[in-house]
Amino acid sequence: GESVGLHLPTLSVQEGDNSIINCAYSNSASDYFIWYKQESGKGPQFIIDIRSNMDKRQGQRVTVLLNKTVKHLSLQIAATQPGDSAVYFCAELMNTGFQKLVFGTGTRLLSVQ
């Protein structure tokens, strides 16, 4: 039968609108967070990162917000384009003797016309 894991949360956004993708992380001691974009058949691609001493960081068309109180990250993409359609993962860097990246559940973003 089908695995629950195949049913990725999907966000459909009109082309030109802003997208907001949310993520909950698990370890309050994590001090570094990264958003990755993964297109079909490719490896994850770094988008933007943020350290725990910041609440917000902006890049080109992307903004990451960090709320340490509720262990929540969000990725905002301005003026969503067809090329933004992909699966997005947040990842936290855990210091468990060495720095280990732990990925959250992905969100599929679909830019529709």
Partner 1 sequence: DTGVSQDPRHKITKRGQNVTFRCDPISEHNRLYWYRQTLGQGPEFLTYFQNEAQLEKSRLLSDRFSAERPKGSFSTLEIQRTEQGDSAMYLCASSFTYRVGKVSYNEQFFGPGTRLTVL
For tokens 């830019």, what's the residue?
A: 111
Compose the 27-46 pattern: x for residues touching partner 1 by CB under 8 A, - for all others. Answer: -----x-x-x----xxxxxx
Q: List C-alpha distances in Å: 9 to 29, 58, 109.
A: 27, 24, 9
Asked if 11 is part of the footprint of partner 1 (rule: CB under 8 A), the reply reads: no
Asked if 56 is part of the footprint of partner 1 (rule: CB under 8 A), the reply reads: no
Asked if 60 is part of the footprint of partner 1 (rule: CB under 8 A), the reply reads: no
Asked if 51 is part of the footprint of partner 1 (rule: CB under 8 A), the reply reads: yes
Residue from 91, 92, 109, 111 binding partner 1 (CB under 8 A): 91
Q: Which helix (H) or strand (E) holds 5?
A: none
| Rg value, the chain, Cα | 14
Residue from 49, 61, 65, 74 binding partner 1 (CB under 8 A): 49
Tokens standing for residue 65? 């917000």
Q: Are 37 and 86 in contact (CB under 8 A)?
A: yes
Q: Least distance in Å: CB of 17 to partner 1?
A: 25
Beta-carbon contacts of residue 2 (< 8 Å; ≥ 6 apart) = none
The contact set with partner 1 (CB under 8 A) reads 3, 5-8, 32, 34, 36, 41-46, 49, 51, 89, 91, 93, 97-106
